Structure formats: C-alpha cells, structure tokens
Amino acid sequence: MGVMTVANTVPASAAPSARVRPGPGGTPASAPTPAPAQLVETHTSVLVFLGDRVYKTKKPADLGFLDFRTREARQAACHAEVDLNRRLAPDVYLGVADVIGPDGNACDHMVVMRRLPAARRLSALVTAGGDVCGELRAVARLLADFHTRCNTSAQITDAGSPATLRGLWDEGIRGVQPYLGSVLDASTIDAIGRLAGRYLDGRQPLLRERQHRELIRDGHGDLLADDIYCLDDGPRVLDCLEFDQRLRVGDVLADVAFLAMDLERLGRPDLAAFFLDRYREYSAESHPRSLENLYVAYRAFVRCKVACTRHAQGDRAAGAEARALASLALTNLRHGRVRLVLVGGTRESGRSELAADLADAEGWTLLRAETTGSGPDDATGRTTDLGYDELLRRAGIAAERGETVVLDAPWTLRRDRDRAAALADATAADLVQLRCAHPGYRRPGTRPALAPRPGTRPGAGRTDEPAGTDPWPEAKTLRDAPAPDATLRAARRAAG
C-alpha cells in the first residue's frame, strides 16, 4: 500500500489548530465527536472526508473540457487548485499531497483541505428557509473586494469582447447538440441561441465600455451555493475553476451571476436579486439589469452542459437537472430582452402618466419628447421633428447599453413610428407599441375625472386623435378599464 506525503502546505502558524476547551475544575473537556468519514464523487474528482481533513484526487479521465489522463496533468491541476483557491480561502486549502507507491515513487496527487461543517453551507442554509441576507451581504462584500485584486491583462480583457462571448455561446450550443431530443428540447436550445445572439448583436458599446473599465478579470468561475461556507468569522468560497482559464476569466458580473443563477435554481430568485444588488452596492459598479440576465442565463447554460455530461456518465437524475437549467437560461434571456416601448396618444389620454407608471413598475428608462406650445397635442403642441430626433438619439444610446426605454410622445405620424422601428432593428431591440385612447388612463389611487362643468363646449377634454393623425394598427390600444391598475397590467403584459 502506498503512503502519502504532503508538500507545499501553508506555514504551521497559518493552518487551523484544534482547540480543547477546559472542563469543570480546569481539566480538558472531551474533544468533539469527529464527523463520520465520507466518500463523494463528482464528474471530475473523488473526495474523501476523514476526520478534520478532506483529500481530493482528480479522476484520470478525458471529459473533453479537461484531460487528466496523465499524472503530470493531475499534479498541475492540484497545484493550480490550491494556488487559485487560496485567494478566497487561504486557511482551507492546506497543500498538495503526493501519493507514494510501493516503489517509492509518486503515483498520484491530491489536494488536502480543512474540513468545514456541512450545516454551514450556503445551499443548506437557503434550503432550510432561514434568513440568509446577512450571509449574502458578507459574500457580496468579499467578492467585490476579491475582484479588485484579480488579475487582468490585454488577453484577459479580450474575454469580454462581443466576439469571444458569442464564441462561448456557440460552443455551448454545439456542446449540447448530442443531447437534443433525448435530454433537452431542441426548440428550447434554439430559442436560447437566438436570444443570446440577438442581445450580443445590439450591445457592443456596452461590452466595449466594460472592457475599457477593466471589469474583465481572472475570477472564480464556478460560484455555487454548495461551495460557499458561512462561518462565524466570515464566508469561505471554495472550488475555483482551475482546469481552464477561459472558463474562469470574464466580466466580474458574469462571475457573481453564477451564484445568482444557483440561488434561482434553489427556488429563491428574491435572494438572487438581493445578492446582485448588494454586489452592485459594494463594488460601486453600475450595469443594466439586462446584462445580469444575460450572464445568469449563460451560467445556467454552462451548468446545463455539465449536467448533460453527468447524464452521459450514468447519472439519470442529471437529465431533469439539465432541462431545468435550460429553462432557467431561457427565462432569463426572455426577461433580459431590450425593448423600445412607444407610448402614444393625446396628452389628455393619460399617456404620460401611463408611461411613467410602466417605467417605474418595470425599472425601465423613461424618455419624453419635447413639445412646442403649451396646449394639448394639437397644432399648438405637437412634438417637432427635432424633438423626435433627440428622443430617438437618446433612446439609441440607452438601448445599446442594455436599457429598455419607454418613449412618451404623441406618435401621431407613421414616419416617426417607422424611424423608431428602424432604431429597434439597428439596436436589436424589440419594438412595443402602445396607444392610449379615450377616455384615458387614470393612475391607481387617483379619483375618477370630474364631469364637465355646465356650459363647457361639447367635446372639450375628449382624447380623440387630432386631425392629421395616421392610422396605427400595429399598436395595442389601451382603453379605460374599471380599475385603473388593470390598464397598467395590460400595458405590462403587452410590453413583456
């Protein structure tokens, strides 16, 4: 039987030491009962939990995205795992052990780790249903600081380019092709590829800006709730992706999106949103929500491909997991679609109030056209060509940077609506057209409009379209509803 020697460990002063608590009379109390031994197998490794240590060996396998068939490859992977993971958990990754065979030579290698309490896993805490907001704050703060220290370079920055991102999505789509029909639904994968490509087509200025701001870093690459331990003295984040730097480098938002995706997978989208908001706060970094959706979708799709691999290795439960992850990816891509939402009609129709409520309800950007005159949207108060020019210019900038925009203007002329449609095509955005009609939108919580005063001329205050208005059959016409919020709900459904 071979023996094990340990090399490249942390200094003794940095390694965790066992503490014995004195009992009554100053005598040592009994040492805590050690956790039972355990064997865990993943698709890439085998882990032995023994006493207060974990010993992790790499499988001598070629899985396509990694090749550990040689001892030298496994040794390099073990050292890379220790070095990279010490960035976030220096007291957990103790070193690399050589497994010595009967002939006295190293026949394999393993990572030696401090064993952490399973009950303190973030996934266990989330599943138990307790309040984990404090733990998520601590993780977000840790990762925000971590990303400022992560390496970047011209080569790493290129990982955030539109071309590289498209290549990763295309590679993922190709990777799941063998599982279409047997594990995954082909129409779901087709929609994923189409929506991801459409987002990338229109968001090149956003992606280039994030490259320029040096937000592309050599991060963690595999942030999962199973691998985060919430201890009394702070979180420990384990299991950095060491075998392929291409899958580890990228936008810092893509890094934290992995954990957000995993929280959604655990049925807690509220916690995913809370975590992303805290990261945004601690990193002092701004980005559109749609970019969060893109990266959450990408991380879900990466895990979908991994689940397909596990299914091929004989794990039948992995098939259902792969389908759930594909569905999660598609849901995020649909939610993250960039839209140009035209809200038109006369001023008295309540279009401006509806536009404001819609933008507020969805967290979208509201832009209003400048009008001439001070009266209603008739000959004395039309939006000028210059007003539409500026409105569409600002909308284009916002759409290219991933923002959905609500455009409040009369939109009485087809030529102006055609220009908006052309802008939507140019920015790969969905065009949504809403028309407020008589008797007008009333904001939730407000009183109904008063009846006209006696003596008021017939038709005063009506919201019929003024003369010269072009037909607008493409628009969803929103008429007054019994409850004011019903109109807003209809607008949200149409824009969704």
pLDDT tens for the 496 residues of the chain, in order:
444 554 444 433 343 333 323 333 443 344 456 788 999 988 789 999 999 999 999 999 887 777 899 999 999 999 999 999 999 999 999 999 999 989 988 899 999 999 999 999 999 999 999 999 999 999 999 999 999 999 999 999 999 999 999 999 999 999 999 999 999 999 999 999 999 999 999 999 999 999 999 999 999 999 999 999 999 999 999 999 888 788 889 999 999 999 999 999 999 999 999 999 999 999 998 899 999 999 999 999 999 999 998 899 898 899 999 999 999 999 999 999 999 999 999 988 889 999 999 999 999 999 998 765 444 444 444 567 779 999 999 999 999 999 999 999 999 999 999 999 999 999 999 999 999 986 666 666 665 544 444 444 444 444 456 667 899 999 999 986 667 688 899 999 999 8
| Residue in 262, 272, 283 with CA at minimum distance from that of residue 215 | 283
Residues 65, 81, 121, CA angle at the centre, nearest 5°? 100
Task: Mention every residue, 6+ apart, whose C-beta is less than 8 A from residue 35.
Answer: 49, 51, 115, 117, 118
How far is residue 344's CA from residue 355's CA, in Å, rounded to a whole number?
Answer: 9
- End-to-end CA separation in angstroms for the chain: 64
Strands 365-368 and 405-408 turn out to be parallel
pLDDT recorded at residue 2:
45
Hey, which bits of 84-142 come out as E strands? 93-100, 106-114
pLDDT at 378: 42
- Grouping H, G, I as helix, E, B as strand and the rest as coil, residue 15 is coil
**Dist CA 392 CA 456 (whole Å):** 38
Give the contacts of 119 (CB within 8 A, at least 6 positions apart).
Answer: none
Q: Cα separation of 432 and 329, whole Å?
A: 23
pLDDT score for 371: 64
The answer to whether 242 and 84 are in contact (CB under 8 A) is yes
Q: How far apart are CA 429 and CA 401, in angstroms?
A: 11
* Helical axes 317-335 vs 252-265, angle rounded to 10°: 120
3-state secondary structure of 384: coil
Structure tokens at 340: 């140009």
Q: Where are the beta strands (DSSP E) in 350-425?
A: 365-368, 405-408
What per-residue confidence (pLDDT) applies to 326?
A: 98
Q: CA–CA distance from 492 to each of 109, 322, 354, 391 (Å)?
A: 57, 31, 10, 22
pLDDT of 49:
95
Radius of gyration, CA atoms only, the chain: 29
| Contact (Cβ atoms closer than 8 angstroms) between residue 349 and residue 441 | yes
CATH superfamily label, 118-335: Aminoglycoside phosphotransferase (APH), C-terminal lobe (3.90.1200.10)
Query: For 36, left (φ over 0), alpha (ψ -120 to 50), or beta?
Result: beta
User: Of 394, 349, 346, 348, nearest to 368 (Cα)?
Assistant: 394
Helix H or strand E encompassing 125: helix 122-128
Element (H, E) at 297: helix 289-312
Nearest CA to 145 out of 266, 273, 256 is that of 256
Residues of the chain with CATH 3.90.1200.10: 118-335
Q: What local confidence, expressed as pLDDT, does residue 11 receive?
A: 39
- Confirm or reject CATH 3.40.50.460 for domain 339-444+460-495, answering yes or no: no
Residue ranges, comma separated, of all CATH 3.40.50.300 domains in the chain are 339-444+460-495
* Spatial contact of 398 and 341, defined as CB atoms under 8 Å apart: no
